[in-house]
Every structure is written in structure tokens, then in C-alpha cells.
Structure 1
Amino acid sequence: MRHEVTEADTAVAVGSGDVPVLATPRLIAWMEAATLRAATPFVETGRTTVGTALRVEHVRATRVGECVDVFAEPPAAAGRRLTFRVRAVDGSGRLVAEGEIDRAVVDRERFLSNGR
């Protein structure tokens, strides 16, 4: 998934810092979106996945106007818990972030009824 960094994606805009570069929370959201998409083959009708844990290191700043490509590798084994290797690179191919994100497979209706 390719994303262009905008002013709305900066640490200043999301309140996570005071510099106008890609905010870690926004990068994490993009990575989670990539895992949601990569989880699709492991989810049956009526089920979905929810994020449960993340271990990500954000190692390079990305300026407004630059692009970031985000990748999520499907897990080796399927089950109720799925762990995805995630990585983000900038337009020059330099590593921006890498790590792992865990998702749990849940029954959508049951999950939503527990929140009420």
C-alpha cells in the first residue's frame, strides 16, 4: 500500500510530536491497514480480525510530499492469532519502519455485542 505523506499525517497534526514529518501513530495505522488486508484469506464469512499487539521500530523520518510503501507479510500458519511481519520503505527504498503486528480472528457480531 502506497501513501503520500501530507500535512495531516505529521507528528504536529496528530499531536505526537512537534516536527512536521510522518507521525508514528499514522504510520502504525497504515501498517495495521496493511495487516487487515493481508488477513482476508484467513477470515471466514461473519468473522473479522482485530489488532491486539504491535512491536514496531520507526527508524527514519519522512517529510511531507514523500511516499511510503507499507507491506504486511502473511503469517506462516493460520489460527485464531495471526502475526504479521510489517515493513515500510520510502521512495528511495530506505527502511522507514519494521516490526510485527498481531491480530486476533473474532466473530464480528459477538465482538460487537461485548462492547455494548
Structure 2
Amino acid sequence: MADQPLPVSPGTHAELVHVVTDADTAAALGSGDLPVLGTPRLLALAEAATVRALDGLLPDGRTSVGTRVALEHLLAAPVGGTVTVRAEVVYVDGRLVRFSVIAEDAARRLLGQGEVTRVIVDRERFMARVPAADA
């Protein structure tokens, strides 16, 4: 893959829309006790948007793994509220792909923002390096 440039460039983007459920709340996820979108779920949605942006673009046998996240959760979203998360490639260096992510509610208020870095890896080689689970 080193000799093959990635078909990903700044501006590549994707978005996903999610309706907050009880399972998405801080109370359900153990990140607080309020019935609002939990930060761990916001983070998962941000990562899912970055994966979606790369979907169908990587060569066979390749995938991406998250390596770094910086996320600000700025505004609460209630159960039943709609969250739209957009991820856009802002930087590519070899196998490293950095995304800007933003999350907005239905009124286009900024719920969260940040940056997610992913690295493109060979799927089989990556899994071969994962240690076996403790017996």
C-alpha cells in the first residue's frame, strides 16, 4: 500500500443522522446520570461518520482504525432529539487521515466538535498482531 496513494483527499466527507434513544443517554452509558445524549455515544457517532466517509474508498484488504480523538461536547440533546454528525477529511499524510467532526441538533445548534485521526491498515496484518485474549 505504501506505493499506492490513497483515494482520499481533503474534502472527502460523510454525515449520519441519529435519533437519541434511552440507550444513548449518559445515564445508560455510565458517563453521568442525566437522560441526555452521553458523550461516549457522541464520540461513537463521530467515529462512525469518519468510517462512513472512507466507505468504499479503501483498497481491498484495507480498513481504518481510530488512533486519536479530541472532542468537545458543548450542548445537551434530549431523548427523541435528532443529531446530525458530519465528518470531513482535513489532512492526509500517507496512511494517516485526519477528520474534522461537528455534531448539530435539528435546529443546527452546535452540540459538539472535534477531530478524529484514523490510520489505514492491512486488515490481516493488523489482526495478526492482536494478542490472544487471556485464558
The correspondence for 2:110, drawn from 87, 90, 95, is 95
- Choose 1 or 2 for highest CA Rg: 2
The correspondence for 1:43, drawn from 45, 58, 61, is 58
Aligned residues: 116
Q: Percent identity?
A: 50
Aligned partner letter, 2:52: R
Q: Give the match's secondary structure for 1:27.
A: helix
Q: Does 1:82 align with 2:108?
A: no
Distance in 1 between the 2:29 and 2:93 partners? 34
Distance in 2 between the 1:70 and 1:91 partners? 11
TM-score normalised by L of structure 1: 0.95
Q: Structure 2 stretches of 5 or more lacking a match?
A: 1-15
Q: Tell me which stretches of 4 or more aligned residues in structure 1 moved more than 3 Å.
A: 75-78
Q: Deviations over 1:46-70 (max 9, x none)?
A: 0000000001100000000000000
Q: Does 1:63 align with 2:78?
A: yes
Supply the RMSD in Å over aligned alpha carbons.
Answer: 1.2
The correspondence for 1:5, drawn from 20, 24, 43, is 20
More helix by proportion, 1 or 2? 1
Distance in 2 between the 1:74 and 1:67 partners? 23
Q: Which moved more, 1:74-83 or 1:24-33?
A: 74-83
Q: Cα distance, 1:11 vs. partner?
A: 0.3
